[in-house]
Structure 1
């Protein structure tokens, strides 16, 4: 059973990005993946901003990356790039933190003008960190993700279908049977 580290780079506790990741985590869990959730916003701000490589939060996070077979990186798009919070974490991880890993980059944003943020901002960093395979990422418009009052997420059907396809590719790259076909 592959272990997947699901990383939310959103600074908000009620973000669409985090809710989207948790929705996908549940789908992966139900199909035999072990998912470890990481919300970067819960790590020590002092450690992130002060570049404290030895802080227990940073050391523990590096260990989570080492444990994972695959990593999902989710981020809202700010100023045509991934979040500064995510950048702070990635800068503190070892240069080879993604070596041998399969990575699925996901981004959310308010405008299609930011659709290339995955390919031009995030993918080069993931590649530089040694990712063995970066599957086709997915950008999801905020308006395709509706947060319900109960905390759940309603995903527009076309977006859900596309997300399930990239999740299948990710699962397949991990050596696990595609999960949408099993649904």
Structure 2
């Protein structure tokens, strides 16, 4: 199966976005994909902010993107756009770092007013980086994501169903199993 890079663009160590990605990573792994989780916040700030293309951590991140067949990009929405942390990384990657890759954009936020951030802020950047296929993205409201005392994430049923469908479509685009909707139809 495919190698999937699962990128969290959240600056927070307790991010619902990162937890959601790790939750979805399990679904992709169960479908036979090799999933590589990657939290942009683990990169050195001086390398990101100083645009140090040769920093070993930036070189390693670039190699992760090159190795992947597909990329899941998750970000919280801040001020109607994806995170500045994610922007910093994307700016340091080669212009066509996503060439030929299948990409699934995901976002989380506190209000439905941010729903269009994927299509109007993130998708154009992913496209300009040469993404071969950007599948339908998904926005999840923060209120639909609950973190238990043990740190486990629970997703509201309607949101879980929708997320499952977009992840299955992404997996199918990578050459995985057919989405449940396609099998049923």
TM-score, structure 1 as length reference: 0.97
Taking the aligned partners of 1:180 and 1:65, their CA distance within structure 2 comes to 28
- Which residue does 2:78 correspond to in 1? 78
Aligned residues: 182
Q: Distance in 2 between matches of 1:7 and 1:107?
A: 12
Q: Would you say the 8 A contact 1:10–1:85 is kept in 2?
A: yes
Q: Flag structure 1 segments of 5+ consecutive residues without an equivalent.
A: none
Matched residue, 1:41: 41
* 4+ residue segments displaced more than 3 Å: 178-182
Q: Is the 8 A contact 1:31 1:179 kept in 2?
A: no
Q: What's the counterpart of residue 165 of structure 1?
A: 165
TM-superposed CA distance for 1:178, in Å, is 3.3
Residue in 1 that maps onto 2:138: 138
Consecutive unaligned residues of structure 2, counting only runs of 5 or more, are none
What CA distance in whole angstroms lies between the structure 1 residues aligned with 2:55 and 2:180?
A: 39
CA RMSD of aligned residues (A): 1.1
For residue 180 of structure 1, report the CA deviation from its aligned partner. Answer: 5.1
Q: Structure 2 CA distance, aligned partners of 1:144 and 1:158?
A: 9
**Distance in 1 separating the partners of 2:149 and 2:48:** 32
Give per-residue Cα distances to partners, 1:119-144, cap 9 Å, x unaligned. Answer: 00000000000000000000000000
How many Å apart are 1:31 and its aligned residue?
A: 1.7
The answer for the alignment partner of 1:125 in structure 2 is 125
Pair 1:102-2:110 in alignment: no
Per the TM alignment, residue 27 of structure 1 is displaced from its structure 2 partner at its CA by: 1.1
3-state SS of the aligned residue for 2:123? Answer: helix
TM-score (norm 2): 0.96
